[in-house]
A and B are shown apart, each in its own frame.
Chain A
């Protein structure tokens, strides 16, 4: 299998004054085109740092990120991010938030009318067309996250990066959005890298689960294949032995072998 996205021997050290902390050490990961990969690990182990390195928002100290065999070291719309706290611009409407990226990415390749249709199409994908003229302060948390997803999808990224996209949501909204993202992945076939804290979410959504050891100097402890067939149904999986086995593996990794140790 030829990797689409490749993390090649990545180390990350933060330096402030003479204090240096090695956060990530020797991260190697190959992700195929169209694959859904989750990264799971305890808080503070460096998951966001890893995602930011892929996004190009943070530089790696050693090693590099290759996308389609080309090194990427600055941020760009080919690796769109859905941030944990939605990060919509509060002075723009829902429509304008999506438009910001679309106007930039398709400035040359699409006409004004085509861009408008494309924005509405993407809002429609996440069922947010009805609120297109509202401002972020006027919609709920789940809706904001949907718009964040639409904004990222509308840039037609090669890789979609999700940093705990459902972390701040209540359980019902979260389940609903997970189903939406699963349906979108099924329909569009994006390559997705998602950070999560939630074991069920990881197993439900992913093709592979990357489990991180605790920091400092966190690295990839284990990679688990999730061979469940798609489309997956939340209710059917609840009793599926394969699902339960995968779930147990992740739980064992997190709570037995790499138990969270309080840093302070």
Chain B
């Protein structure tokens, strides 16, 4: 404010030695402006959920603070789980491990089961979307199978594999494959005739047609399926792990309940929620990257 008004033209002509002091002035204003704008935009998105969160915490604290309350208040949760929060990497052997190991074991199972489901789902979806006969034959089957709750498959999987690990992966697979198949098939069926004509004139062979026309054209649909699928597999893994035991966030929760560590359950739920959110966003982000510019026609 103390500086006299300097027009940009004058500033440019000033010798470089004087520039640092003088030239910063007119430059700083727009930068500060931009900064302010970003800060405001962030605040608008971040502050309301923070306020709601604080209010909920307060409410929870008040309700659960009374003597005889069955659930611990947030202050007690934090006190009980300090060690788990600040040291997620300890490993005392068996299932006595830090949360990082439990979560990574669960994520690994999801990664296996979900990747298999993605590959098989896209392949089957393409078949069903492309061939009328495959659709007539398979669609009714899919429609029935997809209504079976994930956990109902677990005993059957255990009987077949006689081991927890492959059974859990199978449950993930069978849970997440249906939305992938169905959405891929819709995407393939919706490939405009024009694109098929282009492919026919250029004489693409079936494999080239699959990679160069089908996948990109159906990509928005496929990613919708993939996104629903990843959410479902995260839902299913927690339940499956509770039953199969071993290292994994699902069994961690079950184990905490058995040893009446309610605070640990609450902490685990927090992590499960955050990771489910991140998985969903990751697939959505990947979809955005891959289909960028595709939807605009």
Residue numbers of A with Cβ under 8 A of B are 55-57, 74-77, 79-81, 83, 85, 87, 89-91, 100-101, 104-105, 135-137, 155
Contact = CB atoms under 8 A, between A and B. Distances in A.
Given A89-B216, A91-B216, A55 B293 contact: no
B278 interface: no
Contacts of B219: 91
Interface in B14-39: none
B76 to A, nearest CB: 54
A90 B195 CA distance: 10
Contact of A80 (B194, B201, B294): B201
Given A83-B194, A85-B194, A100-B212, A90 B201 contact: no
B213 A89 contact: yes
A131 B201 CA distance: 24
Q: Which of A75, A85, A136, A155 has the most CB of B within 10 A?
A: A75
Contacts of A55: 197, 201
A73 to B, nearest CB: 12
Interface in B111-138: none
A197 to B, nearest CB: 20
A96 to B, nearest CB: 10
Given A87-B195, A89-B216, A81 B296 contact: no
A144 to B, nearest CB: 10
Contacts of A79: 201
Interface in B213-228: 213, 216-217, 219
Interface of B: 194-195, 197-198, 200-204, 208, 212-213, 216-217, 219, 291, 293-297
B212 A90 contact: no
Given A87-B195, A91-B216, A75 B203 contact: yes
20 contacts: A55-B197, A57-B201, A74-B200, A81-B201, A87-B194, A87-B198, A89-B213, A89-B217, A90-B293, A90-B295, A91-B219, A91-B293, A91-B294, A100-B212, A101-B202, A104-B202, A104-B203, A105-B202, A137-B297, A155-B201
B203 A90 contact: no
A155 B200 CA distance: 13
A100 B272 CA distance: 45
A77 B201 contact: yes
Given A55-B201, A100-B202, 4 more contacts: A89-B217, A90-B294, A101-B201, A101-B202
A17 to B, nearest CB: 16
Nearest to B291: A91
B153 to A, nearest CB: 37
A76 B194 contact: no
Q: Which 9 residue pairs are nearest across A and B when measured between Cβ atoms?
A: A137-B296, A87-B194, A75-B200, A91-B216, A91-B294, A101-B202, A135-B293, A75-B201, A104-B202
Contacts of A83: 194, 197-198
B201 A137 contact: no
A83 to B, nearest CB: 6
B79 to A, nearest CB: 54
A168 to B, nearest CB: 13
A76 B213 contact: no
A76 B285 CA distance: 38
Nearest to A79: B201
Contact of B293 (A81, A101, A137, A155): A137
Given A89-B195, A89-B216, A91-B216, A155 B296 contact: no
Nearest to B296: A137
A56 B202 CA distance: 12
A47 to B, nearest CB: 16
Nearest to B215: A91
Contacts of B213: 89
Nearest to B195: A89
Contact of A90 (B204, B208, B296): B296
B31 to A, nearest CB: 30
Contacts of A137: 293, 296-297
A75 B213 CA distance: 17
A81 B197 contact: yes
B296 to A, nearest CB: 4
Nearest to A56: B200
Contacts of B194: 83, 85, 87
Contacts of B200: 56-57, 74-75
A57 B202 contact: no
Nearest to A101: B202
Contacts of A76: 201, 203
A90 B297 contact: yes
Contacts of B195: 87, 89
A100 B203 CA distance: 10
Contacts of B294: 90-91
Contacts of B296: 90, 135, 137
A139 to B, nearest CB: 12
Contact of A104 (B204, B216, B293, B295): B204
